[in-house]
Amino acid sequence: MRVLAFIIAGRYSYREYNDKGYGNYDDHRERSRGDYGDYNERDHGNIPGWVIGHFSGKNERDHTADSISVSRNGEVTAKWAGQQHSGYFDGRNLHIGDKDFIVKQRRDGFETILRQDHSNRVLFYRDR
Protein backbone atom coordinates (compact mmCIF):
# COMPACT_ATOMS: atom_id res chain seq x y z
CA MET A 1 0.00 0.00 0.00
CA ARG A 2 2.89 2.36 0.73
CA VAL A 3 4.30 1.99 -2.79
CA LEU A 4 0.93 2.73 -4.34
CA ALA A 5 0.68 5.97 -2.37
CA PHE A 6 4.00 7.19 -3.80
CA ILE A 7 2.97 6.35 -7.34
CA ILE A 8 -0.23 8.34 -6.97
CA ALA A 9 1.53 11.29 -5.33
CA GLY A 10 4.34 11.17 -7.91
CA ARG A 11 7.08 12.26 -5.53
CA TYR A 12 9.53 10.88 -3.01
CA SER A 13 11.18 12.23 0.10
CA TYR A 14 14.93 12.85 -0.18
CA ARG A 15 15.66 9.57 1.59
CA GLU A 16 13.34 7.59 -0.67
CA TYR A 17 14.73 9.46 -3.67
CA ASN A 18 18.22 8.23 -2.75
CA ASP A 19 17.02 4.69 -1.98
CA LYS A 20 15.08 4.31 -5.26
CA GLY A 21 18.23 4.50 -7.39
CA TYR A 22 17.94 8.09 -8.56
CA GLY A 23 21.32 8.85 -7.01
CA ASN A 24 22.20 10.88 -3.98
CA TYR A 25 20.27 14.12 -4.35
CA ASP A 26 22.38 16.20 -1.97
CA ASP A 27 25.68 15.06 -3.50
CA HIS A 28 24.32 15.73 -6.99
CA ARG A 29 23.12 19.18 -5.98
CA GLU A 30 26.50 20.21 -4.60
CA ARG A 31 28.34 18.89 -7.68
CA SER A 32 25.92 20.78 -9.92
CA ARG A 33 26.45 24.06 -8.10
CA GLY A 34 30.22 23.63 -8.22
CA ASP A 35 30.21 22.74 -11.91
CA TYR A 36 27.87 25.53 -13.04
CA GLY A 37 30.45 28.28 -12.59
CA ASP A 38 32.99 26.35 -14.68
CA TYR A 39 30.52 25.42 -17.42
CA ASN A 40 31.98 27.61 -20.16
CA GLU A 41 35.44 26.16 -19.56
CA ARG A 42 34.31 22.55 -20.05
CA ASP A 43 33.68 20.58 -23.23
CA HIS A 44 30.16 19.10 -23.33
CA GLY A 45 30.68 16.94 -26.41
CA ASN A 46 28.38 14.25 -25.00
CA ILE A 47 25.09 15.97 -25.85
CA PRO A 48 22.77 13.44 -27.57
CA GLY A 49 21.17 14.51 -30.85
CA TRP A 50 17.62 13.83 -29.65
CA VAL A 51 17.81 16.75 -27.18
CA ILE A 52 19.40 19.30 -29.56
CA GLY A 53 17.00 21.84 -31.06
CA HIS A 54 13.87 23.80 -30.20
CA PHE A 55 11.02 22.20 -28.25
CA SER A 56 7.62 23.23 -26.87
CA GLY A 57 5.65 21.65 -24.06
CA LYS A 58 3.04 22.13 -21.39
CA ASN A 59 3.45 21.83 -17.67
CA GLU A 60 0.29 19.95 -16.71
CA ARG A 61 0.65 20.79 -13.02
CA ASP A 62 1.11 24.55 -13.43
CA HIS A 63 -0.85 24.83 -16.71
CA THR A 64 1.91 26.84 -18.37
CA ALA A 65 3.18 26.69 -21.94
CA ASP A 66 6.94 26.10 -21.83
CA SER A 67 9.68 26.18 -24.44
CA ILE A 68 13.31 25.12 -24.44
CA SER A 69 16.27 25.23 -26.82
CA VAL A 70 19.38 23.10 -26.40
CA SER A 71 22.54 23.78 -28.43
CA ARG A 72 25.16 21.24 -29.56
CA ASN A 73 27.45 22.28 -26.71
CA GLY A 74 24.68 21.93 -24.08
CA GLU A 75 23.76 25.58 -23.59
CA VAL A 76 20.07 25.90 -22.73
CA THR A 77 17.56 28.72 -22.97
CA ALA A 78 14.10 28.06 -21.58
CA LYS A 79 10.92 30.02 -21.07
CA TRP A 80 8.19 29.21 -18.56
CA ALA A 81 5.61 31.35 -16.78
CA GLY A 82 6.64 34.28 -19.00
CA GLN A 83 10.22 34.27 -17.70
CA GLN A 84 13.40 33.60 -19.72
CA HIS A 85 15.96 31.26 -18.10
CA SER A 86 19.36 29.94 -19.07
CA GLY A 87 21.40 26.94 -18.03
CA TYR A 88 23.04 23.83 -19.41
CA PHE A 89 22.50 20.18 -20.21
CA ASP A 90 25.44 17.97 -19.26
CA GLY A 91 24.41 14.94 -21.31
CA ARG A 92 22.25 13.43 -18.55
CA ASN A 93 20.74 16.20 -16.45
CA LEU A 94 19.38 19.67 -17.09
CA HIS A 95 20.53 22.52 -14.83
CA ILE A 96 18.70 25.84 -14.95
CA GLY A 97 19.49 28.36 -12.22
CA ASP A 98 19.04 26.58 -8.89
CA LYS A 99 16.81 23.87 -10.43
CA ASP A 100 17.97 20.43 -11.52
CA PHE A 101 15.93 18.22 -13.84
CA ILE A 102 16.04 14.58 -14.81
CA VAL A 103 15.75 14.27 -18.61
CA LYS A 104 14.17 11.22 -20.25
CA GLN A 105 13.99 10.63 -23.98
CA ARG A 106 10.45 10.28 -25.32
CA ARG A 107 9.05 9.81 -28.78
CA ASP A 108 9.45 13.09 -30.71
CA GLY A 109 11.08 14.81 -27.73
CA PHE A 110 11.90 14.41 -24.07
CA GLU A 111 10.45 14.77 -20.60
CA THR A 112 11.89 16.91 -17.81
CA ILE A 113 11.25 16.03 -14.17
CA LEU A 114 12.18 18.49 -11.43
CA ARG A 115 14.44 16.62 -8.98
CA GLN A 116 13.01 18.48 -5.98
CA ASP A 117 9.38 17.73 -6.96
CA HIS A 118 8.65 14.75 -9.21
CA SER A 119 5.10 15.99 -9.82
CA ASN A 120 6.59 18.90 -11.79
CA ARG A 121 6.96 17.34 -15.25
CA VAL A 122 6.97 18.75 -18.75
CA LEU A 123 6.77 16.66 -21.92
CA PHE A 124 8.55 18.60 -24.69
CA TYR A 125 7.93 17.98 -28.40
CA ARG A 126 10.28 19.07 -31.16
CA ASP A 127 9.09 22.23 -32.93
CA ARG A 128 8.42 21.56 -36.60
User: What does the pLDDT look like over 8-66, one tens digit per residue?
Assistant: 344 444 455 445 544 444 444 444 444 444 444 444 458 999 999 999 999 988 888 99
| Separation CA 96–CA 120 (nearest Å) | 14
Amino acid (one-letter) located at 80: W
Number of domains present in the structure of the chain: 1
User: What confidence tens digit (pLDDT) does each residue in 84-104 have?
Assistant: 999 999 988 999 988 999 999
Q: How many other CB atoms are there within 10 angstroms of residue 19's CB atom? A: 10
Strands (E), the chain: 53-59, 64-70, 75-80, 83-89, 93-96, 99-106, 109-114, 121-126
Which CATH number do you get for residue 60? 2.40.128.50
Q: By residue range, what is the domain housing residue 58?
A: 2-126
Which positions ≥6 away from 107 have C-beta within 8 Å?
none
